[in-house]
Amino acid sequence: MIKPSDGNGKIGIFDSGLGGLVIARAIFKLMPQYDFVYLGDTKNLPYGNRPKKEVYNFTRKAVEYLFKQDCRLVVLACNTASALALRRIQREFLPKYYPDRRVLGVVIPTLEQADKKHSSEVIGVLATEATVDSHIYKKELVKIDPRAKIFEVAAPKLVTLIEQNSLQKAENSLKSYLKPLLSKNIEALILGCTHYPLLSSEIKKLAGNNVRVVSQTNFIPDKLKDYLSRHPEIRTKLSRRGKREFLITSYNKNFNAVAKRLFGKKLYFEEIVVSYET
């Protein structure tokens, strides 16, 4: 187990593909002084149609890889990984192997943001199949606001289309995915996948002015900053050189265009090998 020296640790950001770059960009903007490592498991995307055991195995190995790159803290920017793997990683994997490291997810902060008015809102969730099948948003919302209602719809095509840079086809699928949620007269709509903010303009147009669109790029950076302010035992271990590393597990010719669209500029990816053997 690698233990970086004081002030020499990094923050890891993990996603099943490149969608997490949207959140990464927002985090970098708010906290430019820290060193970050982004890892996209592009070899195994999308996670949304995979069984829970596979998602856990992929996520655990990715987290371990990031720890070995001196990351003290890893943010699971992937909603599916947050839904299917985070709790087990926090309860079993970290205490046994990395008790001084931390792994954070995006589901709970997203629900807190969606229900911040605590007015028993009707909330819609647009997410991957795996996230919807887990009902993680519905289960956790009950703990935050028992009176609120939540409706979930899976959008299985969107991640693949976005990763292939086929945004027009993705936009064409949105109307059918949003229709059942809008029929419930939702007041807030959670974009339950890091890829979806790329379509936020079209989503807002289809949802209308009466629906508050909850995009994780708008609050996850603040949540992370707040977490570090409350946990000096992690914050003081982090290096502040403003360095960025972008890692992927498999290269695709479309990635440069996708990354530029997601991140706003060209990125340089390093293709790495993650062993998924248990």
The Cα 247–Cα 189 span in angstroms is: 31
Residues sharing a CB contact under 8 Å with residue 150, sequence separation 6 or more, in sequence order: 122, 123, 124, 125, 137, 138, 141
**Is 71 tagged catalytic?**
no
**Residue 232: what residue type?**
P
**Is 193 tagged catalytic?**
yes
The Cα 33–Cα 246 span in angstroms is: 17
Q: Which of 28, 14, 16, 218 is nearest to 102 (CA)?
A: 14
Q: 41-60 b/e with 16+ CB inside 10 Å = b?
A: bbbbbbbbebeeeebbbbbb
Q: Are strands 71-76 and 36-40 parallel, antiparallel or unpaired?
A: unpaired
The Cα 25–Cα 252 span in angstroms is: 21
* Residue 128 · residue 193 · CB < 8 Å: yes
| Total residues found in the chain within this entry | 278
List 130, 181, 193, 224, catalytic entry: 193
Residues sharing a CB contact under 8 Å with residue 118, sequence separation 6 or more, in sequence order: 145
List 78, 155, 220, 238, catalytic entry: 78
Catalytic residues: 78, 193
